[in-house]
Chains A and B, each alone.
Chain A
Amino acid sequence: MVAFFIWLAINFVKTPADTTNVFFIGLSNGCVYALVALGYTLVYGILELINFAHGDVFMLGGMISVSIAQSFGLSAGDAMLWPLVVVVLLLSMVACGAINTTIEAVAYRPLRSAPRLAPLITAIGVSFILEDVGLIWKGPNYVNFPDVMPHSNLVSFAGVNVQWDKVIMLSITVPVLLLLLYLVQETRQGKAMRATAQDMDASAIMGIDVNRTISFTFLIAGTLAGAAGLLYSLYFQTVRFDQGFQLGLIAFTAAVLGGIGNLPGAVLGALVIGLIQAFNEGLQWHAPGSDWTQSIVFSILILILVFRPEGLLGERTPEGG
Chain B
Amino acid sequence: MSSENGSAPMGSGTAVKTAEAVLEVHDIHTYYGSIHALKGISLEVRAGEIVTLLGANGAGKTTTLRSINGLNRPRSGSIKFEGRDITQTPAHEIVRRGIAQSPEGRRLFPRMTVVENLEMGAFQRNDKAGIKEDMERVFGLFPRLAERKTQNAGTMSGGEQQMCAIGRALMARPKLLLLDEPSLGLAPIFVEKIFEIVKTINDEGVAILLVEQNALMALDHADRGYVLETGRIVLSDSAEALKTNEQVRKTYLGES
Q: Which residues of A contact B (CB under 8 A)?
A: 188, 191-192, 194-195, 198-199, 201-210, 315
Contacts and interface: CB of A to CB of B under 8 A. Distances in A.
B219 interface: no
- Majority SS of interface residues in chain A? helix
A311 to B, nearest CB: 15
Contacts of B109: 194-195, 198-199, 202
A137 B71 CA distance: 43
Contacts of B225: none
Interface stretch (B118-126, B198-206, B241-249): B118-126
Nearest to A188: B123
Best-surrounded residue of A192, A202, A203, A204 (most CB of chain B within 10 A):
A202
A188 B111 CA distance: 17
Contact of B172 (A192, A195, A199, A207): A207
Interface string B68-79: 011100000000
B91 interface: yes
**B interface, size bucket:** 20 to 34
Interface in B93-115: 93-96, 100-101, 103, 107-112
B123 A208 contact: yes
Best-surrounded residue of A188, A194, A198 (most CB of chain B within 10 A):
A198
B58 interface: no
Contact of B120 (A195, A201, A209, A210): A195
B123 A206 contact: yes
B152 to A, nearest CB: 10
Interface string B7-19: 0000000000000
Contacts of A315: 111
B92 A207 contact: yes
B107 to A, nearest CB: 4
B90 interface: yes
**Chain A to chain B: the 10 pairs with minimum beta-carbon distance, closest first:** A207-B124, A204-B91, A202-B107, A207-B95, A198-B109, A206-B123, A207-B123, A209-B92, A207-B92, A206-B120
A109 B223 CA distance: 43
A204 B71 contact: yes
Contacts of A195: 109, 112, 120, 123
A186 B150 CA distance: 16
18 contacts: A191-B119, A191-B120, A195-B109, A195-B112, A198-B112, A199-B109, A202-B107, A203-B120, A204-B92, A205-B70, A205-B71, A205-B92, A205-B95, A207-B93, A207-B96, A207-B124, A207-B172, A208-B92
A47 B103 CA distance: 21
Contacts of B121: 206
B107 A199 contact: yes
B171 to A, nearest CB: 9
B92 A210 contact: yes
A203 B116 CA distance: 13
Contact of B111 (A198, A205, A208): A198
Nearest to A192: B123
A69 to B, nearest CB: 42
Contacts of A203: 120
Given A195-B109, A198-B109, A198-B110, A205 B100 contact: yes
Interface string B115-143: 01001110110000000000000000000
B103 A194 contact: no
A89 to B, nearest CB: 33
A192 B124 CA distance: 11
A195 B124 CA distance: 14
Contacts of B90: 204, 209
A205 B109 CA distance: 12
A201 B92 CA distance: 10
B177 to A, nearest CB: 12
B70 A204 contact: yes
A172 B226 CA distance: 62
B181 to A, nearest CB: 15
A202 B123 CA distance: 12
A194 B112 CA distance: 9
B69 A205 contact: yes
Contacts of A207: 92-93, 95-96, 123-124, 172
B45 to A, nearest CB: 17
B179 to A, nearest CB: 13
A63 B23 CA distance: 56
B123 A205 contact: no
Contacts of A194: 109, 111-112
Best-surrounded residue of B70, B92, B94 (most CB of chain A within 10 A):
B92
Contacts of B95: 205-207
A188 B116 CA distance: 12
B67 to A, nearest CB: 13
A205 B91 contact: yes
Contacts of B112: 194-195, 198
Given A191-B119, A206-B92, 17 more contacts: A195-B109, A195-B123, A199-B108, A201-B103, A202-B103, A203-B120, A204-B71, A204-B90, A205-B71, A205-B92, A205-B100, A206-B120, A206-B172, A207-B95, A207-B124, A208-B92, A209-B90
A267 B116 CA distance: 25
Interface in B55-83: 69-71
Contacts of B96: 207
